[in-house]
Amino acid sequence: MSIINDLFRRSVLLVVVNMGMHPSTDLGISRTSKKFWRRARHMEDQSDLIEMTAGIVSAYVGNNVVSTADLPALIKQVHAALANVGAPDAEAAPTPKEPAVPVKKSITPDYLICLEDGRKFKSLKRHLRTKYDMTPEDYRAKWGLPKDYPMVAPNYAEARSNLAKQMGLGQGGRKPARKAK
């Protein structure tokens, strides 16, 4: 039985080469075991991948009836399936995330509620940068917010403004330089 399997593996390799696939680049192999995945991804010798592909096809043909005319198509199907195993599915595209709270309820006088995680902040900008690596513009674009959507709670902004005015900031501008004598 092992002689038959060996002959079949060699014939599959010949079919692969005759189909125009370059043995060192066109064939890939995968299996569900993590150890095998790591080994297959990091293999230096591509001919081992071809042999493993031939092993899978030969095991399939050994347990199922496949005509010789259908064999090249089977090899192409197996190759295509294995080549696309690591690729993201078109069906599995991420759905748009729902905000943690409704947009209208995210602005209160004392704090803003982050739409990403529902946490309360006086100022959102730093939280967005450190936790999500987002700018205020990215945040507004992601959630479809207007350009004037605040990044600071209204009462906090007013308190900071009053503090700045008490310190004399924003008064008068620059004073002229003294004349040299």
The pLDDT tens digits for 113-156 are 999 999 999 999 999 999 999 999 999 999 999 999 999 999 99
Question: What global pTM score does this model have?
Answer: 0.45
Looking at residue 172, its amino acid is G
The pLDDT tens digits for 86-123 are 566 655 555 667 888 999 999 999 999 999 999 999 99
Q: What is the mean pLDDT of residues 9-14?
A: 60
Q: How confident is the model at residue 50 (pLDDT cuts 50, 70, 90)?
A: low
Q: What's the CATH superfamily of 103-166?
A: ROS/MUCR transcriptional regulator protein (1.10.10.1550)
Domain with CATH 1.10.10.1550 in the chain: 103-166
Q: What is the distance between the alpha carbons of residues 160 and 40, in angstroms, rounded to a whole number?
A: 59
Q: How confident is the model at residue 169 (pLDDT cuts 50, 70, 90)?
A: confident
